[in-house]
């Protein structure tokens, strides 16, 4: 199960894991403040399913990636946008070059981003039509385009240095920074406008850490047995 809190903390979207038990269609659940009823919103019909929910900055819409298949055979097939107020879902099928990659929000409310082949990043309108392709910037991380101290940027694993993280201007595609990650550290996305989240394993212990733009660990946020923390997904929500 994936549960992600909306900006402001008023609602939570829950994307169930037991999709094979649903009969004929996939769905998400919206959970509001205590005392309010849960809402279920139908998304796609089987054999398709959705994954990786992303709230927009206003906390009014949810972006999900459409997938087909399981495990190594799983491929992305487009995206769904759910309007939380109207409780409706719009489905957009996109030809995705037969690979697996999540969609994320673009620089504004009218676009999304997605990984293309050979280290390309593609920007799409919300109707699924292609806006532009930025070639050879590296594998897009599972994070939205962010407003940061470096400007409005998208983030990749560097094309020429896949261990490290590259930060690119969303408008010009100029590289703004290269973040060299310490050995053994896994990148987990932006946290605020000048820090990243990461996890690092030391023996049987896993640590959740905060890194600066130089890749230096500045704080340990949590630690515990790798057998437990290794099962936890990390999501950061703006307040």
DSSP, residue by residue, 174-198:
-EEEEEPPPTTEEEEEE-SSS-EEE
Q: What is the dihedral of CA 90, 139, 185, 151, to 10 degrees?
A: -80
What are the beta bridge partners of residue 204?
Answer: none
Per-position pLDDT tens, the chain of length 239: 788 999 888 889 999 876 656 678 999 999 987 667 889 999 999 889 999 999 999 999 999 999 998 777 888 999 999 999 999 999 999 976 667 889 999 998 899 999 998 899 999 999 999 999 999 999 999 899 999 999 999 999 999 888 899 999 999 999 999 999 988 898 989 998 999 999 998 888 999 999 999 999 999 998 988 887 777 766 666 65
The length of the chain in residues reads: 239
Tokens describing residue 210: 């905060």
What are the beta bridge partners of residue 211?
Answer: 196, 217
CA distance 225 to 155: 29
Is-contact 49 74, C-beta < 8 A? no
Say whether 219 sits in a helix, a strand or coil. Answer: strand
Q: Parse the chain into domains and list their residue ranges.
A: 1-102
């Amino acid at each position: 199960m994936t549960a992600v809190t909306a900006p402001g903390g008023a609602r939570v979207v829950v994307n169930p894991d037991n999709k094979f038990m649903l009969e004929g269609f996939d769905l998400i659940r919206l959970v509001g403040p205590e005392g309010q009823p849960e809402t279920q919103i139908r998304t796609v019909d089987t054999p398709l399913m959705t994954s990786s929910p992303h709230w927009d900055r206003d906390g009014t819409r949810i972006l999900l990636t459409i997938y087909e298949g399981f495990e190594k055979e799983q491929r992305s097939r487009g995206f769904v946008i759910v309007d939380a107020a109207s409780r409706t879902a719009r489905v957009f099928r996109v030809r995705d070059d037969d690979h697996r990659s999540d969609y994320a929000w673009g620089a504004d409310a009218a676009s999304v981003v997605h990984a293309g082949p050979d280290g390309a990043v593609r920007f799409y309108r919300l109707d699924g039509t292609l806006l532009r392709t930025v070639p050879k910037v590296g594998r897009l991380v599972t994070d939205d385009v962010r407003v940061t101290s470096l400007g409005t940027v998208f983030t990749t694993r560097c094309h020429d240095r896949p261990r490290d993280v590259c930060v690119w201007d969303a408008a010009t595609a100029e590289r703004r920074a290269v973040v060299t990650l310490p050995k053994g550290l896994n990148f987990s996305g932006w946290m605020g406008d000048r820090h990243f989240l990461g996890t690092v394993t030391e023996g049987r212990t896993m640590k959740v850490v905060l890194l600066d733009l130089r890749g230096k660990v500045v704080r340990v946020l949590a630690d515990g047995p790798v057998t437990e923390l290794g099962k936890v997904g990390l999501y950061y929500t703006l307040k």
